[in-house]
Amino acid sequence: MSKLSQDLEKAIANAAKIGTCLPQNIPEWMQKIGILSEDIITESTKVGNNSSNNKTDVLIKFQKSNPLKISAKLGNAGYFGNWYGHERFINEFGRKVFDKLTAKTSLWANEWANKSNANLFVGVSISFGERTGDTFIPFLDIFDNLEDLKKIVCGFGEKDNAANCLYVSDEYPKSIQDIVEKLSPLDLETIQRLSEKIRVIFRPINPFTEASNRGKNVYTKFEPHQPLSEITDVTSIKDLMKLGKFTEVFPNGLNHNHILDTLQADYKIRIPLRPNPTRKWQFYSESAT
């Protein structure tokens, strides 16, 4: 999370001072989710990204009302669900949707690898958000309805980790009145509007330029046709595609590092990497789960 995003969350939490009251006039949508006008703030906490399942950035509690669970975003923030891993994806959307996604991701990867502007990659991770260019597909190409999008935007479940309102602005609020004026509900109408912008974003990781992101789960993997006779360095996607293709994966935590290790150990395909001082080489054997 960027420092700017963290600073925005801190500003929102600080503006909702404990002991102060909500305005007398609050929006109808707040009333519908159990917020009472002029209720007193008892807690205001910057929750942040302490869990990948957490969509609430600032939690404001009151004496009598249900809490405000705020998802805070800068005005130019384009991501709503970043770096979805296999376990989280299966828990929220199920195996059937996972299988559909890995098939679509593999199809996209084989096409993208033949583009003139494609860099070397051995797997593709995913995120959800706004995107232009060629590295995305429409949300409804994978998902059947807006309830799935609601999970991505608001969170999963009904606990404090699931947001119930959205704060989108570069301006720091100075009071609870400022916060209320900038909040919008995370209802189906808002989700419908967001569905026109949010995409399934494909993120092919270049092992030359990225280190930590190589640990993210992949939704397709490069699979060679056969092992080479001797260790061979491959430094371009064009040369890699002569040796195999991208194929579907199982939801077992496979990441870019696993693929790179297996390519070298089993197929004698070595890809020079950007150093990652925190990582040790470890052979990975994929299994169906």
pLDDT tens-digit map of 153-200: 777 766 888 889 988 888 999 999 999 999 998 887 888 777 777 889
- Same domain, residue pair 9 and 66: yes
Residue-range definition of the domain harbouring residue 170? 3-77+158-194
pTM: 0.79
46-103 confidence digits (pLDDT tens): 986 666 667 888 999 999 999 999 988 876 666 677 788 999 899 888 999 999 999 9
Neighbours of 231 (CB within 10 A): 10
Number of domains into which the chain is organized: 2
Is 238 a domain residue? yes
Tokens representing residue 36 in the block: 């009472």
Tokens representing residue 45 in the block: 């906490």
Is 281 a domain residue? no
Residue 21 CA to residue 19 CA, distance in Å, equals: 7
Strand bridging mode 165-168 / 68-73 = parallel
- Same domain, residue pair 88 and 225: yes
Residue 22 CA to residue 36 CA, distance in Å, equals: 8
Is 200 a domain residue? no
Residue 125 CA to residue 49 CA, distance in Å, equals: 19
At residue 211, φ and ψ (nearest 5 deg) are: -115, -65
